Each structure stands twice: as C-alpha cells, then as structure tokens.
Homo-oligomer: A and B are copies of this chain.
Amino acid sequence: MEHPHISRRRVLGGALGSLLAAGAAGEALARNVKPQHWDETYDVVIVGSGFAGLSAAYEAVKQGVKRVLVLEKMEAWGGNSALCGALMCMPLTKMQKAKGIEDSPEKLVADMMAAGRGFNHPELALTMAKNAAGAFDMLEECGVEFQDKVIRLGGHSAPRAHLPKVPSGGSITVPMHKWLRSKGVEFRNRANVHELVFDDDGVRGVKVTFDYDWHTDTGRREGTVRALKGVVVASGGWGQDHEFVTATMPAYAQLECTSQPGATATMIKAMLAAGSLPVMLDMFQLGPWASPDEKGAGPGSFFADYAFAEGMAIDPKTGARFMNELADRRTRAEAQLKVLEKGTKDAPNYPFCFCSQATADHAEGFKAAYREGTVKRSDSVEALAKLHGVDVEALKQSIADWNEIVAGKKEDPFKKPLDTRTELNPPFYSMRLSPKLHYCMGGAAITPRAEVVSAQTCKPIPGLYAAGEVTGGVHGMDRLGGCSSVDCFVFGRIAGAQVAARKA
C-alpha cells in the first residue's frame, strides 16, 4: 500500500485518517501514510511570534529542547502583541503583594466569567489566573522592565494590571525575542504556515510558503518542516479576514478591524482541516471607542475613553444619550450598532461622543486625534448640532440634563459611574463612533494543557498545541482588558512545556 510517488495524497490521507479514525462508525482506518520528504527538521515548530509563540519558545528552551523554530508570516515580528497596550492583569505577583493589594486567581476568574457572559471554559480561565503570576517572573527573566505600579482596569475587582516601562507590546516582544535568540531559538519571518502535516502518531510538521508577501498572498518557495515533538499554533486572530468573519458572523460583515493586516484565518482554517473542534467562532470583541474617521484603533480611541467618562455619547437621530458610556465593551458596542442601524448607506447615523475643553486638555490621544481631524472642535451647541446633523433643541436638552446629573440634581437614567463630575460647556470636542472588530473570542478548543481538541473524538489531537487568540474558551463571549496578554503568556508556556515533554 506504499505509493511513494503520490506524497501529497498520502499526507492528506493521513490527515483525514486522523479526522475519521474515531468517527461515529468506530471504524479504524489505516493511517500508514507518511510524508515522503521533509525539507528541514526541528524538535518543536511554533507558528507565530507574538506573546503566545514567544512564551511557548521560552518554556521549550527552559525544558531543554534544543531545536526550536518560530515561524512568522509577516515581515514584522510580534503580530498584534507588538502593537498592543501591554496591560497585564496578574494576581499575586510579588509586585502586587508588595503593594498590599488583596487579590486571588478566583477573583480574577469571577471577573472574567462576568465579562464572558458565562461562556468561559471554567478550567481554562482558572488555569490562566493561577499561572498569571509566573508570567511576571518569565518576563523579568527575559529582561522586561516594569513600571512600579499596579492599576485597576474596568471590570476588574482589584488593581492587578502591570505595565512595562514603555507601555507598548514591543517592550515585551523585543526583549523576549532577543533572549530567545541568545538561547539558540531560530526565527524566520515571511514564513506562511498553511497546513498541518500528520503521520501515524499525529501532527508531525507543517507546510510553509517561504518569502511570503502578504500584500499579494504569494511566496517564492514551498517547503515542509518536520517537528519531531510537535507543533504549537500561536497565530493569533483573523479579524482582517473579511470573508471568514462574514461567514461566521454576517451581522458584523460591515465592521472594520483594529488588527494588523496579517490577522487572517489561514491557521484557524488549517486547524479545522486537521479536525480541530472550534468554539465561539462567531464571537468577536468590538472596540466601542473606535471611529470611522481613523484607521484601526488610533489616537481617537484613547480620546474616546475620556469623552465617555466626562462627556457623553449621542444618537444623532434623537439628540439624546443612548447608553451608559462606561458600561462594558460589549454593552456599549451593541448600543452603538443599534444607533448605526437607524442610518442608511447614503445617510449614515454615526453616534458621537464629545467633551469639554477641560477633559480634552488631559485626554490621552487628544492632540494627535485633533490634529488628524478625527476629533473636531465646535464652539457652540449650535455648531456641534450642525456638525453631526442633530436637532439643536434636543441636544441642548441632553446637555442640560447631563449638567443637572453631575450637579447631583438628577439621577442618571443610564447609571454611569461618576468618578469625576465635569459640567459640559463649549467649546466641545467631538468624535464620531463606529465599533470595530478588536479581538476574536473564539478559536480552536484546547484542554488546560494547551492540547488542541479533536471535533471527532473530543480528545486531544496528538502533537498539536495552541495558545492565545487562535484558541477559544478562556474568556468566553467577551474579555476584560489586560487579560489576552496573560492568556498568551500562560497557555504559550503550557504549550511549550507539553510539547517539550512529548517523545520525538
């Protein structure tokens, strides 16, 4: 039954064999097919160079694995991790303890389950929370420098967010990358993994397009890389894959995305083709601080948080507020979508947020957003009404109501927390709002040991591990800020430890 001249077919037969071997009929399928040729051989192959991939490489190195290869599709290293705000919510770090903050993994899990609307896989959430403090130690070892503060983010019941000195993901990916190279880990960019290759014992390698150019979705050379111990998929989300987003969640077909352009569905598709069980593919976190007047999440998205806290958001059709501007992300994004639905393609109805001068003066991102024209100034209520096509009397009433609320003379029907009480007076600074895809909540189902679950057997697919945004379940339907980074660190490390422990 060996046919060495049809290697591709044989590889496919192996893959589908594993798909169907434990199928409903219980038929055992022969899986005596092996790839005929490997271009290169490593112990561990990691797909993606963001927080999850780097953490997997870190742990594989710590466990003594010699030949680790990290493949990155893009020219730039680090994916969305390199671009993020680098907030990391980690209970029980030595820094948090030194500050005398009371916290626990269980408290973090409770917060995550509330944000996740109960869809979280409880064991995954607890695994993340319990191992979070260890991530802090890993980062320190890799040379990441932290600010000496622990802050509290929305939806979290304790201050537990840590920040690197320069609060950007690059402050983490760059030192980790450097540390890993110093330990002999190999990195290759413009290497687009697009298929998982099986042998009798499970996943044994990957097919790669090298010299890959994402602009044209083509490369110069096809290759196969063997992974003697297994493959870790840490390829991130796919919010930029319009076709895949539309197929899974057509109601979001028109939404822009805040991710880097490499965030496509290549690897989630490869995992589906390899028989992995997907969960929550239709659940996306939307950024409610996004504007149609800037690309992705620009400076306007920082400004919006301040305008939400000290100003208000208005539906142009009514001139009235329509949400608690400090509700959780999903609640706010859904409220904005309802406002947008009242418009048409030719006459859109963008909600907008605005604030007074005092707020603008201390709002992060304001200067850049104003310079770029995302945020606009209006010197009177009339001018603000004209700018957004709102009935001026209705808008005046909304502002008067708000000023009574901050004066304590009226109750807020939306019950927004009033940490500051800032009266709204001209000049006003406003920005149009339109939610954007920010994070893929769903992905491959994994076990607490970062093993990818088979849709056919509901058990791990041997040799295949995954961590980070390409997986689903940890955060449920929606996630809190400062938690995806920790998810990547924790499950990346677990994947690295698991694959390291596997026999070659």
Binding site for B on A (CB under 8 A): 1, 3, 6, 8-9, 12-13, 15-17, 19-20, 23-26, 29-30, 118-123, 192, 194-195, 207, 209, 217, 222, 243-244, 246-251, 264-266, 269-270, 272-273, 275, 277-282, 334, 337, 445, 453, 455-456, 458, 473
Q: Which residues of B contact A334 (CB under 8 A)?
A: 118
Are B8 and A29 neighbours in the complex by a CB distance under 8 Å? yes
Complex partner residue of A23 from B120, B195, B277, B281, CB under 8 angstroms: B195
Tell me, rounded to whole Å, the shortest Cβ–Cβ distance linking A236 to chain B: 15
Complex partner residue of A273 from B20, B207, B282, CB under 8 angstroms: B20
Q: Which residues of B contact A25 (CB under 8 A)?
A: 192, 194-195, 207, 209, 222
Q: How far, in whole Å, are A23 and B222 apart by their CA atoms in the complex?
A: 14
Q: How far, in whole Å, are A281 and B473 apart by their CA atoms in the complex?
A: 12
- Given A24-B194, A248-B279, A266-B24, A455 and B272 contact (CB-CB distance below 8 Å): yes
Are A273 and B209 neighbours in the complex by a CB distance under 8 Å? no
Q: Which residues of B contact A249 (CB under 8 A)?
A: 119, 279
Q: With contacts A24-B192, A243-B458 known, what are 16 further pairs, Cβ within 8 A?
A: A3-B3, A12-B13, A12-B16, A16-B273, A24-B194, A24-B269, A25-B192, A25-B209, A25-B222, A119-B249, A119-B282, A121-B250, A247-B453, A247-B458, A249-B279, A273-B456
Q: Which residues of B contact A8 (CB under 8 A)?
A: 29
Are B273 and A275 neighbours in the complex by a CB distance under 8 Å? yes
- Given A17-B12, A248-B445, A458-B243, A194 and B23 contact (CB-CB distance below 8 Å): yes
Tell me, rounded to whole Å, the shortest Cβ–Cβ distance linking A111 to chain B: 15
Residue of B nearest to A277 (CB): B247
Q: Which residues of B contact A30 (CB under 8 A)?
A: 9
14 inter-chain pairs at a CB distance below 8 angstroms, sorted by A residue, are A12-B12, A13-B13, A20-B273, A23-B195, A24-B266, A25-B222, A119-B282, A243-B458, A248-B277, A248-B445, A250-B473, A272-B277, A273-B275, A280-B282
Complex copy number for this chain: 2
Q: How far, in whole Å, are A308 and B266 apart by their CA atoms in the complex?
A: 49
Q: How far, in whole Å, are A448 and B250 apart by their CA atoms in the complex?
A: 12
Are A337 and B118 neighbours in the complex by a CB distance under 8 Å? yes
Q: Which residues of B contact A119 (CB under 8 A)?
A: 249, 251, 282
Residue of B nearest to A117 (CB): B334
Complex partner residue of A16 from B15, B244, B246, CB under 8 angstroms: B15
Q: Which residues of B contact A12 (CB under 8 A)?
A: 12-13, 16-17, 20, 29
Complex partner residue of A244 from B123, B273, B281, B458, CB under 8 angstroms: B458
Q: Which residues of B contact A248 (CB under 8 A)?
A: 277, 279, 445
Q: How far, in whole Å, are A1 and B6 apart by their CA atoms in the complex?
A: 8
Tell me, rounded to whole Å, the shortest Cβ–Cβ distance linking A117 to chain B: 8
Q: How far, in whole Å, are A60 and B272 apart by their CA atoms in the complex?
A: 32
Complex partner residue of A278 from B24, B118, B278, CB under 8 angstroms: B278
Are B272 and A456 neighbours in the complex by a CB distance under 8 Å? yes
